[in-house]
Amino acid sequence: MTQDETLRLFEYRDGRLRHRTASRGRKIGDPIGSINGTGYRRVGIGGKYYTEHALVYLMHHGCIPAEIDHINGIRDDNRIENLRAVTRSQNQYNKGKCRNNTSGHRGVSWHAKTKKWAVRISLNNRNKSMGYYNDPELAAFIAEEARLKYYGQYAQEASHV
């Protein structure tokens, strides 16, 4: 898929790609694709599937990078201002808390041996300990500050987690 092909097939409006031509029950201006099992919008073109955010990025920048980050963490928010090219590590910095999280805070877990809340962040594919705390809210604050310090602009704020 090239930028020219994308521009020929689709128009970009309101964070969505829309059909430029009518065919097989589709009207001009209908949004493309559907949401897949992981929450991303995708579309089939010529027997190949593309994510909508990759096509939006291609349409605006002329290439599809290896990793595209949704800045606000919402997988189907494909507004161009919400998309940025990142490395794999940078993309991981901006992910939400894990499904099996029991503390309610990203990077905070109960440490049974010390009977305290442990704070850890991942940095360069290694876990970095930020200490142990009696108060889970203090631990959450420390985790957030560590993410801001080490991840910079790629840190996802707690309000988006």
Over residues 64-93, the pLDDT tens digits come to: 999 999 998 899 999 999 999 998 888 887
- Domain locations in the chain as residue ranges: 3-85, 96-160
- Cβ–Cβ under 8 Å, residues 17 and 52: yes
CATH number for region 3-85: 3.90.75.20
> Above 70 in pLDDT, residue 59?
yes
Q: Read off the amino acid at residue 129.
A: S
Cα–Cα distance for residue pair 96/156, rounded to 1 Å: 7
Q: How confident is the model at residue 156 (pLDDT cuts 50, 70, 90)?
A: low
Q: Is the dihedral of CA 135, 138, 143, 144 positive or negative?
A: positive
Cα–Cα distance for residue pair 116/136, rounded to 1 Å: 8
Q: How confident is the model at residue 23 (pLDDT cuts 50, 70, 90)?
A: confident
Where are the alpha helices (H) located in the chain, listed in sequence order?
3-9, 52-61, 88-93, 136-151
The pLDDT score that the predictor gives to residue 67 is 94
Q: How confident is the model at residue 155 (pLDDT cuts 50, 70, 90)?
A: confident
Cα–Cα distance for residue pair 106/144, rounded to 1 Å: 8
CATH class (in words) of the domain with range 96-160 = alpha beta
Average confidence score pLDDT of the chain: 89
